[in-house]
Amino acid sequence: MYLIKDIKFENVSLTYENTGVTSLKDISLKLEKGKTLGIIGKTGSGKSSIAYLLMRLMDPTSGQVLIDEKKLTDSNLDAWRQKIGYVPQEHFLFSDSIRNNILFGIENSETENITQESEQQMKRAAEDAGIHETIMSFPEKYDTLLGERGINLSGGQKQRVSIARALMKNPEIIILDDCLSAVDNETEEHILQALKNRFSGKTAVIISHRISSIKYADNILVIDNGQIIESGNHSSLIALNGLYAETFRQQQMDQSEK
């Protein structure tokens, strides 16, 4: 199977046609295979627009997104999206069993085609997402129905099922779009360590407004008003003593007061 070596944004700008709002302004970045990119910024800073462009939910107004020097707009859209595991901030679960929600989108995921290996992979994905123990506490376990006439999960539990779904796909590229905000710090750390250890060699993009979610990233972009204003790893950005460092101190203070 063909493996992606690098992803580039070259002078990318994005203006939303329906509002005329410019979300990204002249963004350039490079993400190499096996590396993790962290993107942090306030609400409305434009960070999620980078995920939309990566997913090709939108195309740049100007500039280009390149996959191994080939324009993303020239790539087969279905084939490209098959390489990606995407978890949005707004989770979406079906009124179906937990099992079917996690297996959704996996080839041959119909119940009669689920192998013992698939079952083990599903449980491993749930463990990595920090939701396996919760599922096993339900009387029907993975056969528990969600939604109407079933169990209603909390926001954090729904998000973890969504993350398990993306991990189950074993994607070449995983994009977490501010989806860790609904989980507690301990669960967040568990998920990040699982990504770091189990998915070593995979390419990841973690978008967040919390520094705790992106502190392990190889490179971190600080986005403000649609522009990259700082970049580096956690240590170098703290040493820079700019917006990132200020945000880190404020978030640590807020956490200590809880």
Res. 71: pLDDT tops 90: yes
**206 in any annotated domain:** yes
Distance CA 209, CA 43 (A): 7
Let me know whether 105 and 123 are in one domain: yes
pLDDT of residue 112: 52
Q: Which among 170, 186, 218 is the end of a domain?
A: 170
Let me know whether 99 and 70 are in one domain: no
Distance CA 180, CA 87 (A): 10
Number of domains in the chain: 2
pLDDT of residue 109: 47
pLDDT of residue 105: 64
What does residue 208 show for φ and ψ, rounded to 5 degrees?
A: -160, 165
Q: Which among 117, 152, 170 is the end of a domain?
A: 170
Q: How confident is the model at residue 90 (pLDDT cuts 50, 70, 90)?
A: confident
* Residues paired with residue 66 on neighbouring β-strands, in sequence order: 8, 71
Render pLDDT for 4-55 as a digit per residue (tens, 0 to 9).
889 999 999 999 988 889 999 999 999 999 999 999 998 889 999 999 999 9
Render pLDDT for 118-173 as a digit per residue (tens, 0 to 9).
889 999 999 999 999 999 999 999 999 998 666 788 888 999 999 999 999 889 99
Let me know whether 213 and 248 are in one domain: yes
pLDDT of residue 147: 80
Pair of tokens at residue 69:
């020097």
Pair of tokens at residue 132:
């396996």
**207 in any annotated domain:** yes
Return the number of other C-beta atoms located less than 10 Å from residue 16's C-beta.
13
Q: Which among 142, 170, 198 is the end of a domain?
A: 170
Q: Within a 13 Å sphere around the CA of 175, how many CA atoms are in the beta-carbon half?
A: 20
Which residues span the domain enclosing 140? 95-170
